[in-house]
Structure 1
Amino acid sequence: MKKNKNRAFLKWAGGKYGLIEEICQRLPEGNKLIEPFVGAGSVFLNTEYPQYVLNDINPDLINLYSIVKTQADYFIQESEKLFSPSNNQEKRFYELRKEFNQSDDLFFKSILFLYLNRHGYNGLCRYNLSGGFNVPFGRYKAPYFPKKELLYFAEKSQKATFTCEPFQHSFARARAGNVIYSDPPYAPISLTANFTQYSKNGFSLDEQLMLAKLANHNATKKSVSVLISNHDTPFTRDIYSQADITSLMVKRTISQKGDKRVKVGELLALYT
């Protein structure tokens, strides 16, 4: 990993920027890194693999990344226009959010996705049951336009293939010598903390179990090392019992009230 950390151009609840050092210390070398849940891409941006396969089940996210990869200059030119005081108003935010949800124009949706991400509340990416983006207005004084971060992502993404498919398909792509870093929607600490609506479909406990089984299968049968991040709970300890587990304490920043942003236990489970 480089000494200077590279930030993602998206704000992202559960992003891994703060854990980069710990993750990179445990990621094995390989000829390709596969990320079934790429999110904001902090691990991709701070590692040096020859190739990447970056997947997410969210088509809006993958559409955005594909456009930044192939049309970076035009994307930056057009998306920066939305970062103005007149667009940083509650009424305007909800107008543009409605346009995003109704549009079929992939380029237009990509620039609106960045706008909504930077102007919406707390870096959340959330959809209702109908698939409509429904994050509320963030009320930030002057949302930051991440030009430098976009340019770096565009350059680095020339090594990447973007896919939008179930995580099981990403695991099926892996071949000997590849490495998988898996950052799924986290298992709930408690039943009332089950925040998994990154896409319009949630992530069930059965899918958590399937992920653990696929990680073990890839490591033991295909010579593919797998590193998984998750909450440190009795449930995750049980399903990752065949992995080498490292415990971490991480400061959570998704709570609305600052005094409730307490440290929680996370783990890294390495299958080799």
Structure 2
Amino acid sequence: MMQKKNRAFLKWAGGKYSLVEHIQARLPQANKLIEPFVGAGSVFLNTQYKRYLLNDINPDLINLYNFLKAQPDALINDARAFFCAERNQEAMYYALREEFNQTKDEYYRAILFLYLNRHGYNGLCRYSLQGRFNVPFGRYKKPYFPENEMFIFSEKSQKATFTCLPFEQVFTRARRGNVIYCDPPYAPISKTAAFTSYASKSFGQDSQERLAELAAITSKKRGIPVLISNHDLPLTRTLYKGADFSMLSVKRSISQNGAKRQPASEILAYFPPAKVLPKKRKRTRNTLQFTSVVPSSNQQP
């Protein structure tokens, strides 16, 4: 039975809180869970592995996680001051958003990233091509300060290493006995539905293809299981050919038009680990005959 579910402290498009039971059921036992696209971390928070390698291409996200892991009391205390009526005003929001885009102070940037996530429109995380955070003001009556969720994340993160690398490099860090769970930016249902701006670099079809290829190679040639979430589309079924499929239906929680939040079909593609036999040392027949007849030089007569 699953323990009480833990919510992520960030709002996140495509967050997996509502699907963690299904994902957990498909994840095999392992000594480490590797997530190349950790996002808000719902799978991390609701699984019980000994160790975690959690990666995301968004440096602001990983920066916040590292500070929360290292100094939770200070970060939470300092961030709390930004959740007040004075800072929940449009002019103040845009002034702080500009400070975020200008500052090089990583600690201050971590606090502002949390502030923008909770005060910005629909909890979106979006950047311009120049790398500037550009989500508009959210107009919430009283944004929630996720203090308890942050402490839970910080405590669990003592088992985790956070990295900010391309997903291809994260796969190279996997070893036998690990399992990889991938929650990439989803393949678009339609040409107008593409949303790949979690970081300033997009995740297009070529990236989808590389991920699928890496998953197949990692499971077949390295014996490391890989599980991938995505939309259930002809494209993804083709890309993940040879995987074991599980179908899900999920109601979208982040959409520009609330009336259009329709259930969408999702797929879990599981690439089981092939048995990789250890390389055996070759021994010739003559060698076997030699070692069975002649005693070792350090044997006693």
Structure 1 segment 168-247 matched on structure 2, within 5 A: 168-247=168-247
Structure 1 segment 1-272 matched on structure 2, within 5 A: 2-272=2-272
Q: What amino acid maps onto 1:213 in structure 2? A: E
Q: What amino acid maps onto 2:18 in structure 1? A: G
**Matched residue SS, 2:138:** coil
Q: TM-score, normalised to structure 2's length?
A: 0.89
CA distance in 2, matches of 1:172, 1:27: 20
**Matched residue SS, 1:247:** strand
CA distance in 2, matches of 1:257, 1:208: 27
CA distance in 2, matches of 1:66, 1:97: 21
**Matched residue SS, 1:193:** coil
**Matched residue SS, 1:29:** coil
Q: TM-score, normalised to structure 1's length?
A: 0.99
Q: Could you report, residue by residue, the CA deviation over 1:24-46 in whole angstroms, capped at 9, with x for unpaired residues? A: 01011100000000000000000
Cα deviation, residue 258, structure 1: 2.3
Q: What amino acid maps onto 2:24 in structure 1? A: C
CA distance in 2, matches of 1:123, 1:53: 25
CA distance in 2, matches of 1:152, 1:188: 33
CA distance in 2, matches of 1:256, 1:204: 21
**Matched residue SS, 1:192:** coil
Q: What amino acid maps onto 1:47 in structure 2? A: T
Q: Could you report, residue by residue, the CA deviation over 1:225-246 in whole angstroms, capped at 9, with x for unpaired residues? A: 1100000110001000110011
Cα deviation, residue 2, structure 1: 3.4
CA distance in 1, matches of 2:255, 2:12: 13
Q: What amino acid maps onto 1:152 in structure 2? A: I
**Matched residue SS, 1:49:** coil
Cα deviation, residue 165, structure 1: 0.4
Cα deviation, residue 180, structure 1: 0.3
Cα deviation, residue 191, structure 1: 1.1
Q: What amino acid maps onto 2:70 in structure 1? A: T
**Matched residue SS, 2:118:** helix
**Matched residue SS, 2:74:** helix
**Matched residue SS, 1:214:** helix
CA distance in 2, matches of 1:38, 1:187: 17
Structure 1, unaligned runs of 5 or more: none
Cα deviation, residue 257, structure 1: 2.6
CA distance in 1, matches of 2:15, 2:251: 12
**Matched residue SS, 2:44:** helix
Cα deviation, residue 255, structure 1: 2.0
Q: Percent identity?
A: 62
Q: What amino acid maps onto 2:39 in structure 1? A: G
CA distance in 1, matches of 2:81, 2:232: 42
Cα deviation, residue 253, structure 1: 2.1
Give the aligned length: 272
CA distance in 2, matches of 1:178, 1:97: 39
CA distance in 2, matches of 1:12, 1:70: 23
CA distance in 2, matches of 1:256, 1:174: 37
CA distance in 1, matches of 2:34, 2:67: 20
Cα deviation, residue 10, structure 1: 0.3
